[in-house]
Amino acid sequence: MLVLHKIQETIAQLERDKSIRVLYACESGSRAWGIPSPDSDYDVRFIYVHQLDWYLSLCNRKDTITIKSDEANLDMTGWDLRKTLQLMKKSNAAPLEWMHSPIVYQEAPGFLRRFQKVGATCFSPNSMNYHYLSMAKKFYDSCAGETTVNLKTWFYALRTALSARWIVEKEAMPPVIFKDLLSLIAPSIRKDLLALIALKGTKNEDFLFEKEATLLQLIEESIAIAEAGKTDLSGSKVNMLEMDKFFQRMIPKPNKNDYKGAKKSTSFTV
């Protein structure tokens, strides 16, 4: 509860200091995946908008906000909505995962429903498979030659390999919660992974784990399936008109009196 209060307090302070509105804030990383270690950071990701004038400038302006607090194990990163949508139309994995996070800290009324509707057209099985497959290979390579591996890295390899496999087998966005990916695998291996999740919940992130042959084989098998099926995957079906409408709807609308020389009164309406 103390961390939740800190997150909400930090968001409120940002809104005041930077004249923004945070439309959505959620957890990403191991806590969102349901596999945190006792010392895992709170990886908060948020999406915000400025007032209309900010978007009418010819200057290139900073569109990212980053805040870290070692004391609270807090890692917060925010993207301006325009940056978020520009990346999302390229099927960037980050916002597509954020919109399905099971842990939401803040949401403007109606935002998430509309965000998910736009996001559904941005999901590209081809691009997302490439993203997860590339990461799975990187994490696998870091584990392959070692007898003991960092448990956090081991889970990263498992999660990304299973996510890439999910896309090939189901041609759908993989679930954020790690346990939901386990429907892809045999019950005997699923039991081993559930035990490993329980172990991770008791060990800090630097804990070294002795690799198990069955799980190494699972990673290799999942990478092979994702590799073999990637050529048959489709791209996204982005509707730019709907994205523009969504973006314009989220931007605060000036009061009509602003154009009559009256004191500005900007209304944030979603």
What pLDDT, in 10s, does the model give residues 188-232? 999 999 999 999 999 999 999 898 899 999 999 999 999 999 999
Query: Rounded to an integer, what distance in angstroms lies between the CA atom of residue 150 and that of residue 179?
Result: 20
CA–CA dist 105, 4 (Å, integer): 8
pLDDT higher than 70, residue 1: no
The sign of the CA dihedral 160, 71, 37, 46 is negative
Per-domain boundaries in the chain:
2-123+238-260, 125-232
The mean pLDDT of 26-49, rounded to a whole number, is: 96
The pLDDT tens digits of the residues spanning 58-92 come to 888 999 999 998 878 899 999 999 999 999 999 99
| Average confidence score pLDDT of the chain | 91
Q: Which residues contact 100 (CB under 8 A, 6 or more apart)?
A: 116, 173, 175, 176
> Is the CATH number of domain 2-123+238-260 3.30.460.10?
yes
pLDDT at 145: 81
pLDDT-derived band of residue 266, with 50, 70 and 90 as boundaries?
very low
Per the CB < 8 A criterion, the answer to whether 46 and 22 are in contact is yes
Q: What pLDDT shows up at residue 211?
A: 87
How many Å separate Cα 40 from the centre of its chain?
16
> Residue 54's pLDDT is what?
94
pLDDT score for 258: 53
Q: Which helix (H) or strand (E) holds 151?
A: helix 151-170
Q: What do you get for the CA distance between the two ends of the chain, in Å?
A: 28
- The pLDDT-based confidence of 146 (bands split at 50, 70, 90) is confident
pLDDT > 50? residue 262: no
Confidence category of residue 144, pLDDT binned at 50, 70, 90: confident
Statement: residue 2 has pLDDT above 80: no
Q: How far apart are CA 212 and CA 233, in angstroms?
A: 31
Helix, strand or coil, per DSSP, at residue 188: helix
Q: What are phi and psi of 76, to 5 degrees?
A: -115, 130
Pairing mode of beta strands 42-49, 74-80: parallel
- pTM of the shown model: 0.91
pLDDT tops 70 at residue 268? no
